[in-house]
Structure 1
């Protein structure tokens, strides 16, 4: 039996006949219990995604690892209370990066103490910290302004994370491009 493939002049490619069926394809019936399961899974995934639950869990775990508390459960309770106070506008933001961390990052991009960062350096600082950089940046950003922008960005990110699923608040933030605390 010869399995050689030849191309005919009508520019049609030959297809193996063994995978083609003469019967029309049939609709697959999915039992009702499987449909309910799939629907429940989709709703759960949408709920978690809309409220950014995995990101919130990563934030909490990062704070626990950074603080290394002797009583992690109590630490989580206190952290969530701080988050709720911040979200309501009555507390300081329990951000992941303290001022000393931000200053160290900026210093690493300005080792010669010029007092400014280029737009590319500032963009890399944003990426290093896990933030999305501004679309429009000045060519030279003073280091003190860079630190303030990074502080504001992480506070805004935390505020948006804590308000995920609250479309009204997030719409207001996007329209005014401000955060109130």
Structure 2
């Protein structure tokens, strides 16, 4: 029995040496007690698992997968509220992804979340008296309302509503395209 107990650690070390060495990972200082000045010792197996988790999180972030899932779920909710009967969600997701790939390839229109009528309604809410223009602040708030980014755009003090509509459509399509090509070299 003693012979087996001595052999087990050697066998375990041989197994660990065959596992590729993971990249070093950082340990959150909040996990270490304030009184302890000793470094936390992490087993090789735990380092290996944590490096896989870290690489997975980086991949998801790099390819913007959570944002893509959020876009798909939002489209499902919006479409389901419009449809009278029940729809097959799996078939709808396949159709939506096909439309996204065709858009990414430049072969079809963007399956954007906000249709032109939605964008016109938002613009109308900022221009209820039909002045025909929005201030730069109103344009920024319209973009924020729709969850679109307005980076790198210099706005005049008065922007005609037809230009704001075109700008909203363009930015919406650009953001969807950027989402669909995330992580592609």
State the TM-score, normalizing by the size of structure 2.
Answer: 0.76
Q: Is 1:158 equivalent to 2:176 in the alignment? A: yes
Q: 2:134 is paired with a residue of what secondary structure? A: strand
Separation in structure 1 between the aligned mates of residue 35 and residue 111 of structure 2, nearest angstrom: 61
Q: Is 1:121 equivalent to 2:127 in the alignment? A: no
Separation in structure 1 between the aligned mates of residue 116 and residue 102 of structure 2, nearest angstrom: 20
Separation in structure 2 between the aligned mates of residue 80 and residue 94 of structure 1, nearest angstrom: 9
In the other structure, the counterpart of 1:170 is none
In the other structure, the counterpart of 1:81 is 98
| Residue correspondence of structure 1 range 129-144 to structure 2 within 5 A | 129-134=146-151, 135-144=153-162
2:74 pairs with one of 62, 68, 75: 62
The Cα of 1:20 is off from its aligned counterpart by: 6.5
For this pair of structures, how many residues does the alignment match? 146
Residues 51, 20 of structure 1: CA spacing in aligned structure 2 closer, same or farther, 3 A cutoff?
A: closer
Q: Which ranges of structure 1 fall in alignment gaps of 5 or more residues?
A: 1-18, 168-181
Separation in structure 2 between the aligned mates of residue 62 and residue 90 of structure 1, nearest angstrom: 23
Separation in structure 1 between the aligned mates of residue 176 and residue 107 of structure 2, nearest angstrom: 15
Moved over 4 A (4+): none
Separation in structure 2 between the aligned mates of residue 140 and residue 159 of structure 1, nearest angstrom: 29
Q: Is 1:37 equivalent to 2:49 in the alignment? A: yes
Separation in structure 1 between the aligned mates of residue 45 and residue 73 of structure 2, nearest angstrom: 36
Separation in structure 2 between the aligned mates of residue 137 and residue 20 of structure 1, nearest angstrom: 54
In the other structure, the counterpart of 1:97 is 114
Farther-moved stretch of structure 1 (90-99 vs 65-74): 65-74
In the other structure, the counterpart of 2:39 is 27
Q: Which ranges of structure 2 fall in alignment gaps of 5 or more residues?
A: 1-33
1:49 pairs with one of 53, 61, 65: 61
Separation in structure 2 between the aligned mates of residue 43 and residue 125 of structure 1, nearest angstrom: 37
State the TM-score, normalizing by the size of structure 1.
Answer: 0.77
